[in-house]
């Protein structure tokens, strides 16, 4: 009798563990506290740990065509910063259908398209916590967008294109308040590009309003129980 009960409890526990693992993103997407190299970064991460988890979870469920890589989210220092400026940084891989039309565009145009489509919506998801926005230790925001350059040749490795967008805090705040429009947001950002591993240097992008993120739905996608998306 005792064994039967034990077996039943263990089976239920196994099921719960399987469901819990399946329904939440991996926490290794967030840079661990022990991985920071400065107290400023570590303190921000410790203070806003719940915010980082919320961002990770919301992208996982609500923008499932994006993938946050390991350590893709945290309070990083931009490499071009002279001081220990700490930016809330998010890196995503954008999964989309390979398109010859898209691949034929110049890199600036592809980068501008991705900037227009994703930087604003991701910035809004990253800035839901008012206390974080008002924290003097936070210096800005980084959005890193990465996508497949073109469908790889048979047996070849895929090449990603990447842009890193750095926004200082005043610019981000003005954008969130509607005082800066997308074209000006691109002008006021520092944007760097890479073709695979090769740096392309600083890019000058055009940007425009794009409502893809607010209108696109993965066909037949069913949100996990208890999850809501805004």
Name the phi and psi angles at 2, rounded to 5. Answer: -60, -45
Does 10 bind another protein (CB under 8 A)? Our answer is: yes
Does 29 bind another protein (CB under 8 A)? Our answer is: no
Alpha carbon distance 156, 38 (integer Å)? 39
Name which position in 20, 83, 131, 197 contacts another protein (CB under 8 A): 197
Name which position in 95, 170, 179, 208 contacts another protein (CB under 8 A): 95
Q: Exposed (0-12), middle (13-18) or buried (19+): which is 91, by Cβ within 10 Å?
A: buried
CB distance 86 to 46 below 8 Å: no
Show Cβ contacts of residue 141 under 8 Å, excluding neighbours closer than 6 positions. 87, 88, 89, 123, 126, 127, 166, 167, 169, 172
CB distance 145 to 115 below 8 Å: yes
Name which position in 131, 157, 177, 209 contacts another protein (CB under 8 A): 157
Name which position in 29, 40, 91, 110 contacts another protein (CB under 8 A): 91
Name which position in 23, 133, 173, 213 contacts another protein (CB under 8 A): 23
Does 71 bind another protein (CB under 8 A)? Our answer is: yes
CB distance 151 to 100 below 8 Å: no
The tokens of 117 are what? Answer: 């489509």
Site string for another protein, 160-189 (x = CB under 8 A): x-x-x-------------------------
Name the phi and psi angles at 145, rounded to 5. Answer: -115, 135
Distances in Å between the Cα of 124 and the Cα atoms of 59, 89, 143, 149, 197 are 12, 13, 11, 26, 29
Does 64 bind another protein (CB under 8 A)? Our answer is: yes
Does 128 bind another protein (CB under 8 A)? Our answer is: no
Does 79 bind another protein (CB under 8 A)? Our answer is: yes
Stretch touching another protein by CB under 8 A, among 107-115, 142-150, 175-183, 203-211: 142-150
Does 230 bind another protein (CB under 8 A)? Our answer is: no
Alpha carbon distance 91, 147 (integer Å)? 11
Residues binding another protein (CB under 8 A): 3-4, 7, 10-11, 14-15, 18, 22-23, 31, 35-37, 41, 60-61, 64-65, 67, 69, 71-72, 74, 76-79, 89, 91, 95-98, 142, 144, 146, 148, 151-152, 157-160, 162, 164, 192, 194, 196-197, 199, 218-224
């Amino acid at each position: 009798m005792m064994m039967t009960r034990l077996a039943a409890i263990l089976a239920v526990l196994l099921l719960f563990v399987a469901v819990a693992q399946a329904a939440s993103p991996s926490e290794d997407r967030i840079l661990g506290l022990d991985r920071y190299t400065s107290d400023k970064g570590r303190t921000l991460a410790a203070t806003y740990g719940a915010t980082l988890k919320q961002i990770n979870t919301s992208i996982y469920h609500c923008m499932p065509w994006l993938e946050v890589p390991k350590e893709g989210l945290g309070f990083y220092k931009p490499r071009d910063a002279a001081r220990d400026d700490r930016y809330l940084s998010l890196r995503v891989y954008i999964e989309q259908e390979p398109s010859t039309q898209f691949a034929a565009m110049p890199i600036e145009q592809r980068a501008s398209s991705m900037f227009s489509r994703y930087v604003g919506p991701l910035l809004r998801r990253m800035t839901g916590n008012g206390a974080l926005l008002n924290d003097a230790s936070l210096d800005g925001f980084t959005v890193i967008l990465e996508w497949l350059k073109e469908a790889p040749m048979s047996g070849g490795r895929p090449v990603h294109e990447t842009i890193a967008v750095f926004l200082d805090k005043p610019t981000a705040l003005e954008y969130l308040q509607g005082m800066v429009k997308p074209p000006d947001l691109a002008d006021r950002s520092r944007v760097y590009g890479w073709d695979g591993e090769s740096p392309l240097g600083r890019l000058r992008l055009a940007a425009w309003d794009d409502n893809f993120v607010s209108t696109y739905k993965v066909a037949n996608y069913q949100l996990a129980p208890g999850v809501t998306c805004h």
